[in-house]
């Protein structure tokens, strides 16, 4: 292996690692605030890619109708509750889906990549809060295991929905840029640079959000002590919805980014989500910097192993993780104790 | 006493029904209409709209069940078809895994089955199993003949890290040995992978003249795009699993020049007039595209149609030996299928024997190339 090949592999690995990193962040946010291991996040990633792809081909995606349907139920529920919840409910689940649907109907025929991407993000992001509202909030106090089983079940529901909406074929998202440039002997595509830039922008955005805004501080407070946060008046339902919203936004963004590099099918999200989960585990499901290091490690390791022994890639990658997990569990006990 | 008499009468009546010959021929089809194989299942099922209502003067009933791309579901459906519907023959199953699950059942119950997926078996051990889909080695033989004619000596291999990747590699090893080629590298990736960069770099580092691909459907475009992006100039050769408009859609400009092999029915309108399959395939596809649209052309409908043609050819002979619904009829049907001689279908020509229950030859494989965004037959 010469230096050129090594650098090319490194570039590929870091790009893939950046996607794993995004998913790991989403998983960490949701887990630390609600103790839910958000398995369906990978499926939302595939939804992101496929929603852009179908908007780009001039069709209205099935995910839009799914969103409208579930939002209508949420609207009815919050209207029945009455009071301040009703006003918020009408805004979130009445006005927003209506505007979004109108925008999609009017703008989809133009097939402008930037508009399709924004529409797709707007369609997929509300699914996180809706999943929280209907699936997890009613059983928010259940054990981590029960929540995990529920998350697995939701994964299968979303996969089924994906097959119905998008069919079994793969599709790709439009590239933000087709250009590439040469860095020495290395050809770097702008798309992989865009992935890294988006990733960096998101990380610094989240850093600001958690450090400087009241909502971000509420999330942090809930993450560090759930009962304490409730005692000082932080609304557990609202922080949960916010955490799920952030995770689904991140998943949709990751889907748009990775979809431009490689086509995805309706069921491809789970594998990517699994790698993100592995990275999150490396951070002990609490540490963001450790998860980031884990994500890049998994990505680069995958790339290098693919070069040397591609047939055994998954085996080698996952086997190398075992000592890491053993070390982590010996050092800090199980994540459930801290949750 | 009365209850016991009634039970006895019922038992006799039941036996009478199950042993009685049926007034119609019942053909049971197990297709993957839902699940991950649904895209193919739609094609298999479409052909049933054009099946005859009567063969040899006897009405035919087609019982179609879905296996949801799951061999276990297919197995249960087959059991029901044999014990409750008393079918005379299986059309399909359309999934290789379900074929493997159903074959022992069919052979035990002496029900002929026409597997519609490439399925390897020994006709001596499974005399009731037939297959009308081209075996992989037959398809790859056509590809290697072309490569040999173009002087390819050193090849690289990239395939899925699953059973399909292994099967295509086995055929690649077989024919590269016969044709005097060396395999320089064997690289694998998973269908759900998001990058094949590393495998492509490895392939290019050994400088093969051509690359053989053990892939299928749209995930096959991943290494093709990466190879062309990295400037690979050699030939790219695929199997029949990649021949679909979706592959070109995903591969874009990188797909241009990819050579693969397919069933004649897929490019029926581009075959030379001397090709015996052309008129049969054109007649079938005229009906098929009229109903499902010009974009609906696929090889899978052809396998269903050929299964029907094979049965239509054999049933009149079997009717002389016994009535539908009886074992005599099924045994005679099997014998007649085995004697199928030079039957022209839409996926090739069938010439069966006791040792060859597929019977296709080189006429079942047509080489195609991606040109100007479409699959074109190589003349």
The pLDDT of residue A339: 46
Count CB atoms within 10 A of the CB of residue B290: 10
Contact B222 A262 (CB under 8 A): yes
Q: What is the DSSP string of A219-268?
A: HHHHHH-HHHHHHTT--HHHHHHHHHHHHHHHHHHHHHHHHHHS-B-TT-
pLDDT at residue B16, as a whole number: 42
Residue A305's closest chain B neighbor by CA? B198
Query: In which region does residue A224 sit, left (phi positive, over 0), alpha (psi from -120 to 50) or beta (all else)?
Result: alpha
The enclosing domain of B111 has a CATH number of 3.40.50.2300
- pLDDT value at B156 more than 70: yes
The CA distances from residue B67 to B38, B95, B177, in Å, are: 10, 9, 38
Q: Which strands sit side by side in the sheet containing B54-55, from one edge to the other?
A: B54-55, B58-66, B25-31, B89-91, B113-115, B129-131
Looking at the structure, do residues B214 and B258 belong to the same domain, yes or no? Answer: yes
Q: How far apart are CA B36 and CA B23, in angstroms?
A: 37
Give residue B18's pLDDT band: very low, low, confident or very high (50, 70, 90).
very low
Residues 6+ away with beta carbon under 8 Å from B122 = none
Least Cα distance to A192 among A23, A15, A16, A10 occurs for A15
Q: What is the pLDDT of residue A3?
A: 82
Whether residue B359 is predicted with pLDDT greater than 60 in this model: the reply is yes
The tens digit of pLDDT for each residue in B55-75 reads 999 999 999 999 988 899 999
Q: Do residues B130 and B160 share a domain?
A: no
Which of B37, B198, B250 faces A9 most closely, judged by CB atoms? B198
B129 plus B146 within the same structural domain: no
The per-residue pLDDT of chain B, averaged, comes to: 90
Predicted local distance difference test score (pLDDT) of residue A333: 59
* B350 found inside a domain: yes
Whole-prediction pTM value?
0.80
- pLDDT of amino acid B194: 82
> A163 vs B221: CB contact, 8 Å cut-off?
no
- Please check whether residues B86 and B152 belong to one and the same domain: no
Asked whether residue B283 is assigned to any structural domain, the reply reads: no
Q: Are B316 and B55 in contact (CB under 8 A)?
A: yes
Whole-number Å distance between alpha carbons of B90 and B361: 23
Asked if the Cβ–Cβ distance from B250 to A172 is below 8 Å, we say yes
Report pLDDT for A331. 76
Q: How far is A156 from chain B (nearest CA, A)?
A: 12
pLDDT average, residue stretch B185-211: 91
Local confidence band at B165 (pLDDT 50, 70, 90 cut-offs): very high
Residue B288 within a domain: no
The whole-angstrom distance between B282's CA and the closest CA on chain A is 27
Q: Is the pLDDT of residue B134 over 90?
A: yes
In tens, the pLDDT along B268-323 reads 999 999 999 999 999 999 999 999 998 888 999 999 999 999 999 999 999 999 99
Contact indicator for A195, A18 with CB cutoff of 8 Å? yes
B36 touching A, CB under 8 A?
Answer: yes
Percent of chain B residues past pLDDT 90, beyond the cut? 77
Given a cut of 60, whether residue B7 has pLDDT beyond it is: no
Give dist(CA B183, CA A72) in Å, integer.
59
CB contacts of B189 in chain A (<8 Å) are 306, 310, 313
Tens of pLDDT, residues B24-35: 999 999 999 887
Residue B198 lies in a domain: yes
User: Cβ separation of A12 and B190 shorter than 8 Å?
Assistant: no
Interface ipTM: 0.74
Q: B328 lies in which domain range?
A: 2-134+295-360
Whether the pLDDT of residue B17 is over 70: the answer is no
- B32 and B96, same domain (yes or no): yes
Phi, psi of B150 (to 5 degrees): -100, 15
User: Per mean pLDDT, which range of A311-320, B130-139, B203-212 is the poorest?
Assistant: A311-320
- Evaluate whether residue B77 is within a structural domain: yes
B37 and B79 part of one domain:
yes
Query: pLDDT tens track of chain A, all 339 residues?
Result: 678 888 888 988 999 999 999 999 999 999 999 999 999 999 999 999 999 999 998 889 999 999 999 999 999 988 888 777 788 888 888 899 999 999 999 988 888 888 999 999 999 999 999 999 999 999 988 999 999 999 999 999 999 999 889 887 788 888 776 666 766 666 677 778 888 999 999 999 999 999 999 999 999 999 888 889 989 999 888 999 999 999 999 999 999 999 888 888 888 899 899 889 988 888 778 888 889 998 999 999 999 998 888 888 888 888 877 887 788 778 765 555 544
Mean pLDDT of B17-45: 81
Closest Cα in chain A, distance from residue B196 (Å): 8
Structural domain total, chain B: 2
Identify whether B375 is part of a domain. no
**In a shared domain, residues B6 and B75:** yes
Do B148 and B254 have their domain in common? yes
Q: Give me the pLDDT at residue B21, please.
A: 67
Write out chain A residues lying below 8 Å of B159, CB-based. Answer: none
Q: How many CA atoms lie within 13 A of A303 on its CB side?
A: 22
> What was the pLDDT predicted at B15?
45
Q: Which residues of B touch A257 (CB under 8 A)?
A: none
The pLDDT of residue A179: 67
Nearest CA in chain A to B231: A187
Q: Identify the H or E element spanning A190.
A: helix A190-212
Using a 10 angstrom Cβ sphere, with 0-12 exposed, 13-18 middle and 19 or more buried, the burial of residue B343 is buried
CB contact under 8 A, A12 and B198: yes
The backbone region for B213, taken as left when phi is positive above 0, alpha when psi lies in -120 to 50, beta otherwise, is beta
pLDDT computed for residue B12 by the predictor: 44
Q: Mark yes or no for CB contact A8/B205 under 8 Å.
A: no
Q: What is the mean pLDDT of residues B104-111?
A: 96
Q: How far is B134 from B347, CA to CA, in rounded Å?
A: 8
A149-153, B216-220, B358-362: range with lowest mean pLDDT: B216-220
Nearest to A329 by CA among A287, A291, A281, A296: A281
Residues B15 and B119 in one domain: yes
Region B30-54: mean pLDDT is: 89
Whether residue A220 contacts residue A214, with contact meaning beta carbons closer than 8 Å, is answered with no
Judgement on whether residues B69 and B84 belong to the same structural domain of the protein: yes
Contact B192 A267 (CB under 8 A): yes
Q: Chain B: residue nearest A167 by CA?
A: B39
Contacts of A302 in chain B (CB under 8 A): 198
- Name the helix (H) or strand (E) containing B116: none
A305 contacts in chain B (CB < 8 Å): 198
- B235: which DSSP letter? E
Among candidates B194, B198, B205 on the partner chain, residue whose Cβ is nearest the Cβ of A272: B194
Domain check: are B237 and B300 in the same one? no
The verdict on a CB contact (< 8 Å) between A8 and B201 is yes
**Omega cis (within 30) before B261:** no
Report the pLDDT value the prediction gives residue A188, as an integer from 0 to 100: 72
Q: Are B359 and B353 in contact (CB under 8 A)?
A: yes
Measured in whole angstroms, the distance separating CA B46 from the mean position of its chain's CA atoms is 15
pLDDT at residue B14 in the model: 47
Residue B257: pLDDT above 80? yes
**How far apart (Å, rounded) are the C-alpha atoms in residues A150 and B57?**
57
Q: List the Cα angle B343/B349/B351 in 5-degree steps.
A: 65
Strands B374-377 and B210-214: unpaired
Show which of B262, B287, B315 is a domain's final residue: B262
Beta strand extents in chain A (DSSP E only): 180-183, 186-189
Q: How far is B328 from chain A (nearest CA, A)?
A: 43
- Chain B CB contacts of A15 below 8 Å: 195
Please tell me the distance in Å from B115's CA to the nearest CA on chain A.
23
Residue B373 belongs to a domain? no
């Amino acid at each position: 292996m010469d230096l050129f090949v090594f650098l090319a592999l490194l570039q590929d690995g870091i790009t893939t690692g950046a996607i794993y990193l995004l998913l790991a962040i989403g998983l960490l946010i949701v887990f630390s605030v609600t103790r839910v291991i958000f398995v369906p996040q990978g499926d939302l990633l595939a939804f992101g890619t496929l929603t852009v792809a179908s908007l780009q081909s001039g069709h209205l995606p099935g995910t839009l109708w799914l969103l409208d349907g579930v939002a209508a139920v949420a609207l009815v529920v919050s209207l029945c509750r009455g009071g301040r919840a009703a006003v918020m409910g009408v805004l979130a689940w009445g006005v927003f889906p209506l505007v979004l649907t109108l925008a999609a109907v009017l703008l989809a025929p133009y097939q402008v990549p930037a508009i399709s991407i924004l529409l797709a993000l707007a369609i997929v992001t509300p699914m996180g809060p809706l999943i929280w509202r209907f699936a997890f909030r009613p059983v928010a106090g259940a054990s981590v295991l029960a929540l995990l089983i529920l998350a697995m079940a939701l994964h299968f529901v979303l996969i089924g929905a994906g097959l119905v909406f998008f069919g079994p074929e793969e599709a790709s998202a439009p590239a933000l840029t087709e250009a590439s440039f040469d860095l020495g002997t290395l050809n770097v595509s702008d798309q992989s640079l865009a992935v890294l830039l988006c990733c960096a922008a998101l990380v610094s955005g989240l850093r600001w959000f958690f450090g400087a805004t009241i909502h971000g501080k509420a999330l942090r407070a809930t993450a560090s002590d759930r009962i304490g946060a409730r005692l000082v008046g932080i609304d557990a339902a609202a922080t949960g919805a916010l955490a799920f919203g952030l995770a689904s936004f991140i998943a949709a963004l990751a889907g748009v980014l990775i979809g431009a590099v490689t086509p995805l099918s309706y069921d491809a999200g789970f594998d990517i989500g699994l790698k993100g989960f592995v990275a999150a585990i490396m951070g002990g499901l609490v540490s963001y910097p450790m998860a980031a290091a884990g994500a890049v490690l998994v990505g680069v390791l995958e790339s290098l192993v693919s070069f040397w022994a591609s047939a055994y890639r998954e085996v080698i990658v996952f086997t190398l993780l075992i000592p890491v997990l053993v070390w982590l569990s010996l050092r800090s006990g199980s994540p459930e104790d801290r949750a | 006493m009365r209850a016991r008499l009634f039970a006895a009468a019922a038992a006799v009546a039941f036996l009478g029904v199950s042993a009685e010959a049926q007034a119609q021929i019942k053909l049971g089809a197990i297709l993957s209409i839902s699940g991950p194989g649904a895209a193919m299942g739609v094609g298999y099922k479409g052909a049933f709209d054009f099946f005859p209502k009567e063969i040899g003067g006897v009405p035919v009933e087609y019982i179609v069940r879905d296996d949801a791309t799951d061999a276990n579901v297919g197995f249960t459906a087959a059991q029901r078809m044999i014990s409750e519907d008393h079918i005379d023959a299986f059309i399909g199953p359309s999934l290789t895994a379900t074929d493997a699950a159903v074959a022992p059942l069919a052979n035990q119950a002496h029900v002929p089955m026409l597997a519609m997926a490439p399925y390897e078996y020994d006709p001596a051990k499974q005399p009731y199993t037939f297959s009308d889909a081209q075996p992989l080695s037959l398809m790859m033989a056509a590809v290697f003949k072309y490569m040999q004619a173009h002087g390819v000596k050193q090849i690289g291999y990239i395939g899925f890290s699953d059973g399909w990747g292994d099967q295509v590699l086995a055929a690649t090893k077989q024919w590269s040995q016969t044709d005097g080629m060396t395999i320089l590298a064997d690289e694998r990736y998973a269908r759900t992978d998001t990058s094949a960069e590393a495998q492509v770099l490895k392939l290019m580092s050994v400088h093969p003249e051509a690359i053989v691909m053990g892939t299928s459907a749209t995930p096959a475009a991943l290494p093709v795009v990466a190879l062309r992006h990295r400037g690979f100039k050699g030939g790219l050769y695929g199997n029949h699993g990649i021949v679909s408009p979706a592959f070109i859609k995903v591969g874009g400009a990188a797909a241009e020049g990819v050579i693969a092999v397919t069933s004649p029915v897929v490019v029926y309108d581009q075959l030379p007039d001397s090709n015996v399959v052309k008129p049969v395939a054109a007649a079938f596809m005229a009906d098929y595209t009229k109903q499902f649209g010009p974009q609906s052309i696929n090889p899978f409908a052809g396998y269903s149609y050929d299964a029907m043609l094979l049965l239509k050819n054999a049933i009149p002979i079997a009717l002389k030996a016994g009535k539908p619904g009886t074992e005599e009829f099924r045994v005679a049907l099997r014998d007649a299928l085995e004697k199928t001689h030079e039957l022209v279908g839409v996926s090739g020509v069938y010439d069966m024997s006791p040792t060859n229950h597929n019977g296709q030859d080189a006429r079942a494989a047509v080489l195609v190339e991606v040109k100007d965004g479409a699959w074109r037959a190589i003349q």
